[in-house]
């Protein structure tokens, strides 16, 4: 039986990168369940639009422009949320970008943006919010956006892949730290399969090498065709978080297949395994 409405039927949710895609879906779902949703994104207009959609359905939302690649912005957000709305029950560190290109051809600025948004944005989201969540003494939930890409390798997506491996490892350590201290903070690694979002849209790839365009558009077409709907994915994620699952999946079969490859790679110490589609979409 679904328990998300019991667990997330009230309290404050903070979601980063909630102007679009999975973040917007999570914000709408949290709003529909009855939470006060702090909808944050670097894209202020997009965050306002998500908040307006929640309010239009009778929910409670507050939009705030936040760039997760700047640690002080997350400190400012935590200060603002706790003083304006009180304790945070649900924090989802979701903001992320894809970066396509051969490792040696991605410009410095794009490498740094990818690490700063996808990895440091998650780390500093936790650093800014967890002390206040712990001090409140209340039960709370933290979800970090990992990916099926956290368990494999995709040539042409090294920058993205390293951040997702790192977010996965970070989330595992964080889970254990909470357990070791006996704290009532439930940590989840959210591991989406393909979800139909803007992540491979051409405009989100600004600053990538020119030869990345073909790989990016092939990936975009693939998620357009096979990706899960964002609202469906969001509902699945919040239900599994409500169940206090560390592993939160929208596509457990694909995750299991990639993890099986990873296990073989580590156990037998074989060379990295080429994904099936890699040659067809290789960056020039
Ligand atoms: N879509 C998928 O198939 C898929 C699969 C696995 C993991 N994910 C992860 O899900 C998360 C959400 O991605 P999505 O697919 O919804 O993409 P998306 O592009 O639709 O949404 C990402 C959002 O993050 C925001 N963002 C970008 N830089 C930011 C910054 N510096 N500060 C704050 N917000 C910023 C964007 O403005 C956008 O609203 C990412 O972490 C992504 O890696 C997505």
Residue 36 beta carbon below 6 angstroms from any ligand 1 atom: no
Closest-CA residue, ligand 1 atom 43, reads 96
- On whether the CB atoms of residues 5 and 26 are closer than 8 A, the answer is no
175 among known catalytic residues: no
Residue 142: its pLDDT value, please? 99
Any ligand 1 atom below 6 A from CB of 152: no
Catalytic-labelled residue, pool 129, 151, 160, 175:
160
- Give, in order, the Cα–Cα distances in Å from 58 to each of 3, 33, 61, 105: 21, 11, 10, 48
> Quick check: 281 and 216 in contact, CB under 8 A?
no
**H or E stretch at 141:** strand 140-145
- C-alpha 93 – ligand 1 centre gap (Å): 10
CA of 135 to the centre of ligand 1 (A): 29
Q: Which positions of the chain have pLDDT values less than 50?
A: none
Ligand 1 contact via 192 beta carbon (within 6 Å): yes
Domain 4-268 has CATH 3.40.50.720: yes
Distance 20 CA to ligand 1 centre (A): 7
pLDDT score, position 50: 99
pLDDT at site 1: 80
Sketch the domain layout of the chain as residue ranges.
Answer: 4-268
């Amino acid at each position: 039986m679904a328990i998300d409405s019991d667990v997330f039927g009230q309290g404050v949710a903070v979601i980063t990168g909630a102007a679009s895609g999975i973040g917007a879906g999570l914000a709408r779902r949290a709003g529909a369940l009855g939470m006060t949703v702090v909808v944050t994104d670097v894209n202020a207009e997009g965050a306002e639009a998500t908040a307006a959609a929640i309010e239009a359905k009778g929910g409670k939302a507050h939009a705030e422009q936040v760039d997760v690649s700047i640690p002080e912005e997350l400190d400012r957000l935590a200060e603002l949320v706790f003083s304006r709305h009180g304790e945070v029950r649900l924090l989802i560190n979701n903001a992320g970008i894809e970066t396509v290109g051969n490792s040696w051809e991605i410009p410095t600025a794009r490498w740094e943006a990818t690490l700063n948004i996808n990895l440091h944005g998650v780390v500093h989201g936790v650093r800014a919010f967890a002390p206040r969540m712990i001090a409140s003494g209340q039960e709370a939930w933290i979800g970090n956006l990992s990916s099926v890409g956290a368990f494999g390798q995709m040539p042409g997506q090294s920058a993205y892949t390293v951040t997702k491996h790192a977010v996965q490892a970070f989330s595992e350590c964080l889970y254990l730290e909470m357990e070791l201290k006996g704290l009532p903070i439930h940590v989840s690694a959210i591991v989406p399969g393909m979800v139909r979002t803007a992540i491979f849209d051409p405009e989100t790839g600004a600053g990538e090498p020119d030869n990345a365009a073909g790989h990016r558009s092939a990936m975009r077409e693939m998620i357009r065709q096979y990706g899960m709907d964002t609202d469906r994915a969001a509902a699945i994620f919040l239900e599994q978080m409500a169940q206090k699952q560390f592993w939160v999946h929208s596509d457990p079969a694909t995750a299991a297949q990639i993890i099986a490859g990873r296990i073989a790679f580590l156990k037998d110490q074989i060379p990295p395994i080429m994904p099936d589609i890699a040659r067809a979409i290789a960056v020039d």
